[in-house]
Amino acid sequence: MPVVIVVGAQWGDEGKGKVVDLLAERAEMVVRYGGGANAGHTLVIGGDKLVTHLVPSGVLHRHVRCVLGDGMVVDPRVLLDEIAACRQRGLLADGQLIVSSRAHVILPYHHWLEAAREGRAGAIGTTRRGIGPAYESKAARRGVRVVDLARPSRLRELVEQNLDEILPILRSWGRPEPGRPEIDRLIADAERAGQELAPVVGDAARAVDAAVRSGKNVLLEGAQGTLLDIDHGTYPFVTSSSTVAGGACTGAGVAPTRIDHVVGISKAYCTRVGAGPFPTEMAPAQAEEWRVAGQEYGATTGRPRRCGWLDAAALRLAVRVNGLDGIALTKLDVVRGRGRIRVCVGYRLDGVSLDEPPLDAGELARAEPEYVEVDGWGEESRAARRLEELPPGARAYIATIERLVGAPMWLVSVGPDRDDTILLRDPFASSPPQHP
């Protein structure tokens, strides 16, 4: 049975939560493979809304085991609060959640460092969830892992080692320094969180492998998006993890040979949060219209998202880097009634035509997007459950995207609810594709 990666094809916020929730109906395990509480996945069922930051979007299905993989960075307090919120709704039964003992832990000094950095020149506009500094600790081999929370002397040693490096930096930037009592409290809190988390901590990669080997449907859930990937995104305006499909293999501990399908999620337009070049960004008044129509405010930070035209050239990059088999197009309903629609088909940089955006931030800021314009449509389409039930304009828009991007449409989302979906190809189905 298939192992499927679901990956963001843009700058995050593509609607992965809804798509994962929908596909998870047929999955037995959903695994988050990277990032941390910088993600915010909004799940809507019958008008009821649940936002998860760490727990995988399969959580609404009682038969799904939810795994936080090795590649994640976990803030223990956020996780404990989220587990409690899920349990209050009768979700996450005993044994349903596994948190990798090898995932790294975000501790208060990561927040201190990030807050200080984001207040200085060169700020990225991060989500301020401690993500970057935690991945720095990991790469520096000084990180505290989930397993260390249950080893008091090791935990203390690691925290002291980290503070030895971080406090002088904070001091040199004129930031307030924690005193001994605060540091002791930090360690005690981490230990307590470790005790509370102990029942859900395990060898995530072995659990995922066992599920894959026994033929279960396994979904590897990406966070953020391709253009925020540390290697393949618009560096330095990126997150600090491997968000692309390759990151699913390392982050979840699944061999590339085990992957059956990769599905890329794209909004029917484009958004970006935080700083960094965004060539298809709309003018402020128009962006505001789309922002309101699409409710484009960060699920984690509440920040207004920047809105822009669909960038088919960037999607082409996502198809290439992730090896996308199919696209799931979300928020098609938001496009309705917005007049003629522009789609970026390529770039001009220094007189040269490019079929993908340049990834160097300076070059991307200088590159000129080239657009085609297509007709919009005014007819309501939320009730559509088959492609043929969509207005002709919407169908033509979908066909244009497939042609420009070079990948078929597997799913189209026509509204926020789980049911507001046209499923053209189910990656967990064994039947052949329904769509040409």
Closest CB to ligand IMP among residues 123, 255 = 123
In 3-state terms, what secondary structure has residue 91?
Answer: coil
The yes or no reply on residue 273 touching ligand IMP (CB under 6 A) is yes
The verdict on 126 binding ligand IMP (CB under 6 A) reads yes
- Amino acid letter, 277: P
Q: Does 222 bind ligand IMP (CB under 6 A)?
A: no
Q: For ligand IMP, which is the closer residue by CB, 126 or 421?
A: 126
- Applying CB under 6 A, which part among 11-19, 56-64, 102-110, 151-159 lies near ligand IMP? 11-19
Residue 129 in contact with ligand IMP, rule: CB under 6 A: yes
333 is catalytic: no
- Report which of 347, 306, 332 is spatially closest to residue 411, judged by C-alpha positions: 332
Run of H or E including 361: helix 361-366
Quick check: 234 binds ligand IMP (CB under 6 A)? no
Return the closest-CA partner of residue 363 out of 372, 354, 371.
354
Q: Which candidate, 3, 122, 20, places its Cα nearest to that of 330?
A: 20
Q: Looking at 2, 15, 251, 274, which residue binds ligand IMP (CB under 6 A)? A: 274
Neighbouring C-beta atoms of residue 163, cutoff 10 Å: 18
Structure tokens, 285: 């008044």
**13 is annotated as an active-site residue:** yes
Strand partners, 50: 43
Shortest approach of ligand IMP to residue 306 CB, angstroms? Answer: 10
Min dist CB 263 to ligand IMP, Å, is 18
| 304 forms part of the interface with ligand IMP (CB under 6 A) | no
Reduce the DSSP state of residue 77 to 3 states and report it.
helix
Cβ-based neighbours of 244, under 8 Å, separated by 6 or more: 7, 222, 226, 229, 231, 232, 321, 322
Check residue 38 for interaction with ligand IMP (CB under 6 A): yes
276 touches 105 (CB < 8 A):
no
Measured between alpha carbons, how far apart are the two ends of the chain, in Å? Answer: 23
> If DSSP codes are grouped into helix, strand and coil, which group holds residue 170?
helix
Annotated catalytic residue within 21, 41, 311, 333? 41
239 contributes a contact to ligand IMP by CB under 6 A: yes
Contact 15, 43 (CB under 8 A): no
Q: Give the list of residues 6+ apart from residue 120 with CB closer than 8 angstroms, or none.
A: 173
| Among the residue ranges 67-75, 121-129, 251-259, 281-289, the one whose residues contact ligand IMP (CB under 6 A) | 121-129
In this chain, which of 74, 146, 200, 228 binds ligand IMP, going by CB under 6 A?
228
The answer for residues whose C-beta is within 8 angstroms of residue 265's C-beta and 6 or more apart is: 6, 7, 8, 9, 14, 15, 16, 19, 327, 328, 330
* Binds ligand IMP (CB under 6 A): choice among 2, 76, 132, 222: 132
Write out the binding residues for ligand IMP, residues 396-425 only, by CB under 6 A: none
**Binding flag, residue 20, ligand IMP (CB under 6 A):** no
Residue nearest to ligand IMP (CB): 274
Residue (334 or 423) nearer to ligand IMP, CB: 334
> Is position 426 an interface residue for ligand IMP (rule: CB under 6 A)?
no
Give the residue with the Cβ less far from ligand IMP, 304 or 391: 304
Interface residue with ligand IMP, options 42, 101, 127, 137 (CB under 6 A)? 127
Nearer to ligand IMP, 125 or 376 (CB): 125
Residues marked as catalytic: 13, 41
The site for ligand IMP (CB under 6 A) is made up of 11-13, 38-40, 124-127, 129, 131-132, 223-224, 228, 237, 239-240, 273-274
